């Protein structure tokens, strides 16, 4: 089988060493039905037994290959780290993307060295901006300062409980057992009380698979940096979604875990859209970074926050997250914002077979947020309506947004808090702990995951 395509126009996802478990679907490579004769982008995953150099693989598949094709392809999905040199963790995962007709894809799927072929779909992540004019407000107006934790601090200092009286409502709700009362406060006011442990998230890396992070925002205190982009050299957050979710995980004013390392993995563009291949590449980058970091002093654990997703079952993404969790990474995913069954979406539906946490969203009166997905695939709920957090509009800007995208990072932050205290927790054990600490019987109108995130400190909000 011969193709006219020059391989330098395709994107290699990774040449990465890790554990590759058997796929959920039948082991024979399958390809979705044809959409047009003009062709589509496909993700081709090689079988674990295929060890030959890329040049030999492509030649046998009938591709023409330029001398620099491999380097060009890898760099297109990599920023700041070469993740093709690890040889210490299980079997290799190797995949690439290319444009071809469905008939050619079907022929390629029959090759013994091809594990799976799937269309490289593009997903746009929905988010609701609560009030566009609010983005002109600045963090400096809030007058809140968190005492920075030093790694050399004594244990009694690390265990100290801190109260923030200038918190957004979502932080207050996860640190109290009682429903919030307004007391004259609006949902987007920063006048709520949040209690948390001073050590919250120290030494934990949180990989934000999102639209990027405004790393110059003062509320990140220098703990946020961009480490990967699927868009050439673009490491900016052109949408704001990524900066907002990162703020809920670990910014000084709006964060659940105020000491975490926030690592931006840019897989969404300025329209908050990204391809399946980019998501897979982002997960595998995070995994390779985790494997390098896990033996370093002060390291407590790695979390992937995925406030993104799309319809259907995405086998390559399932495989990537399976490898990550098998390597000890912890994962929080958004349940989706279509007010329908969360089990219809990836990666949300993976929570039924992988130790990841799928999060639904609630409002300030403990009801299901109107757009939140629901069903048995939801593990837990967290506040998701009118959530104020960091913005991409300036170094001090903040704004409110709504969605399961805003609920998911609150859970990721709670996971980071627990990992500092017990870094030996495996993903299944941490998921069980987070769900067990959540409040039962307080939510209204939810189906599935009928518990509300809580840190156990039981403050007065």
Pull the structure tokens for residue 311: 């319809």
Consecutive H or E run containing 277 = helix 276-293
> Given 40, 210, 237, 269, which residue is catalytic?
210
pLDDT of residue 152: 52
- Residue owning tokens 């963790």: 89
From the list 195, 201, 253, the residue with the least C-alpha distance to 398 is: 253
Q: What's the burial of 349, exposed, middle or buried (CB within 10 Å: 0-12/13-18/19+)?
A: buried
- DSSP-assigned beta bridge partners for residue 388: 400
Pull the structure tokens for residue 216: 């110059």
Pairing of strands 204-210, 330-334: unpaired
pLDDT of residue 276: 94
pLDDT of residue 139: 64
> Given 241, 244, 330, 381, which residue is catalytic?
241
Is 210 in the active site? yes
Q: What is the chain's pLDDT, residue by residue, as a tens digit (461 residues)?
A: 322 232 322 333 433 333 223 233 333 444 455 555 578 888 888 888 888 887 888 888 877 544 333 332 332 332 223 333 322 333 467 888 888 888 888 888 999 999 889 999 999 998 777 764 454 456 656 655 655 555 555 666 777 899 999 999 999 999 999 999 999 999 999 999 999 999 999 999 999 999 999 999 999 999 999 999 999 999 999 999 999 999 999 999 999 999 999 999 999 999 999 999 999 999 999 999 999 999 999 999 999 999 999 999 999 999 999 999 999 999 999 999 999 999 999 999 999 999 999 999 999 999 999 999 999 999 999 999 999 999 999 999 999 999 999 999 999 999 999 999 999 999 999 999 999 999 999 999 899 999 999 999 866 66
8 A C-beta contact, residue 319 and residue 16: no
pLDDT of residue 156: 62
- DSSP-assigned beta bridge partners for residue 167: 192
Sketch the domain layout of the chain as residue ranges: 7-120, 128-452
Which region holds residue 221: left if phi is over 0, alpha if psi is between -120 and 50, else beta?
Answer: left
Domain 128-452 homologous superfamily, CATH? Peptidase S8/S53 domain (3.40.50.200)
DSSP labels, 62-98: T-B--TTHHHHHHHHT-SS---S---SSSEEEEEEEE
Pull the structure tokens for residue 360: 């639904």
Quote the CA–CA distance of 271 and 67 in Å, as a whole number.
34
Q: Measuring CA to CA, how many Å separate 78 from each of 85, 167, 216, 383?
A: 13, 36, 22, 34
According to DSSP, residue 313 is labeled -
The sign of the dihedral angle between the CA atoms of 339, 342, 344, 348 is positive
- Residue owning tokens 């509009």: 393
DSSP labels, 416-456: HHHHHH-TT--HHHHHHHHHHHSEES--BS--S--EE---S
Which region holds residue 366: left if phi is over 0, alpha if psi is between -120 and 50, else beta?
Answer: left
Quote the CA–CA distance of 259 and 263 in Å, as a whole number.
13
Count of beta carbons in the 10 Å neighbourhood of residue 94:
25
Q: Measuring CA to CA, how many Å separate 363 from each of 28, 169, 219, 442?
A: 45, 10, 25, 12
pLDDT of residue 312: 95
pLDDT of residue 11: 33
Beta-strand runs (E) in 267-344: 273-275, 301-306, 310-311, 330-334
Torsion angle of C-alpha atoms 134, 135, 141, 147, degrees rounded to 10? 120
Is 405 in the active site? yes
CA angle (162, 384, 136) in 5-degree steps: 80
Count the helices and strands in the chain (H runs, E runs).
10, 22
- Quote the radius of gyration of the chain (alpha carbons, Å): 22
Torsion angle of C-alpha atoms 170, 387, 428, 348, degrees rounded to 10? 140
8 A C-beta contact, residue 331 and residue 303: yes
pLDDT of residue 90: 35
Residue 32: helix, strand or coil by DSSP?
coil
What is the pTM (predicted TM-score) of this model? 0.86
């Amino acid at each position: 089988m011969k193709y006219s395509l020059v391989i330098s126009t395709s994107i290699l996802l990774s040449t990465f060493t890790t554990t590759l478990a058997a796929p959920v679907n039948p082991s024979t490579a399958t390809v979705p039905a044809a959409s047009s004769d003009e062709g589509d982008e496909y993700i081709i995953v090689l079988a674990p037994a295929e060890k030959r150099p890329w040049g030999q693989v492509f030649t046998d598949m009938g591709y023409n290959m330029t001398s620099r094709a491999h380097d060009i392809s890898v760099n297109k999905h990599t920023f700041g780290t070469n993740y093709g040199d690890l040889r210490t963790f299980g079997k290799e995962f190797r995949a690439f993307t290319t444009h071809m007709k469905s008939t050619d894809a079907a022929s390629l799927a029959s090759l013994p060295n091809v594990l799976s072929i799937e269309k490289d779909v593009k997903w746009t992540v929905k988010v609701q901006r609560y009030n566009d004019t609010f983005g002109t407000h600045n963090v400096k107006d809030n007058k809140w300062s968190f005492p920075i934790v030093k790694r050399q601090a004594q244990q009694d200092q690390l265990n100290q409980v801190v109260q923030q009286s200038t918190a957004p409502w979502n932080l207050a709700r996860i640190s109290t057992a009682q429903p919030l009362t307004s007391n004259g406060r609006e949902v987007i006011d920063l006048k709520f009380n949040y209690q948390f442990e001073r050590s919250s998230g120290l030494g934990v890396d949180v990989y934000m698979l999102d639209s990027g992070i405004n790393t110059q925002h003062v509320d990140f205190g220098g703990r946020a940096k961009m480490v990967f982009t699927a868009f050439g050299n673009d490491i900016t957050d052109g949408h704001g979604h990524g900066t907002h979710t990162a703020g809920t995980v670990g910014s000084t004013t709006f964060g659940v875990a105020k000491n975490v390392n926030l690592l931006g993995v840019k897989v969404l563009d300025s329209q908050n859209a990204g391809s399946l291949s980019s998501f897979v590449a982002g997960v595998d980058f995070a995994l390779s970074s985790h494997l390098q970091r896990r033996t370093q002093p002060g390291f407590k654990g790695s979390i992937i926050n995925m406030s993104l997703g799309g319809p259907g079952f995405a086998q390559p993404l399932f495989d990537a997250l399976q490898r990550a969790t098998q390597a000890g990474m912890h994962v929080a995913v958004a349940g989706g914002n279509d007010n329908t069954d969360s089990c219809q979406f990836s990666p949300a539906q993976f929570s039924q077979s992988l130790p990841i946490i799928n999060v639904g969203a609630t409002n300030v009166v403990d009801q299901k947020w109107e757009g939140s997905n629901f069903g048995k695939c939801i593990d837990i709920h967290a506040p998701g309506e009118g959530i104020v957090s960091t913005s991409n509009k300036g170094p001090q800007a903040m704004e409110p947004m709504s969605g399961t995208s805003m609920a998911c990072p609150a859970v990721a932050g709670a996971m980071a808090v627990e990992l500092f205290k017990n870094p030996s927790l495996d993903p299944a054990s941490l998921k069980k702990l987070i769900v067990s600490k959540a409040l039962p019987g307080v939510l209204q109108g939810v189906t599935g995951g009928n518990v509300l995130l809580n840190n156990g400190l039981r403050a007065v909000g």
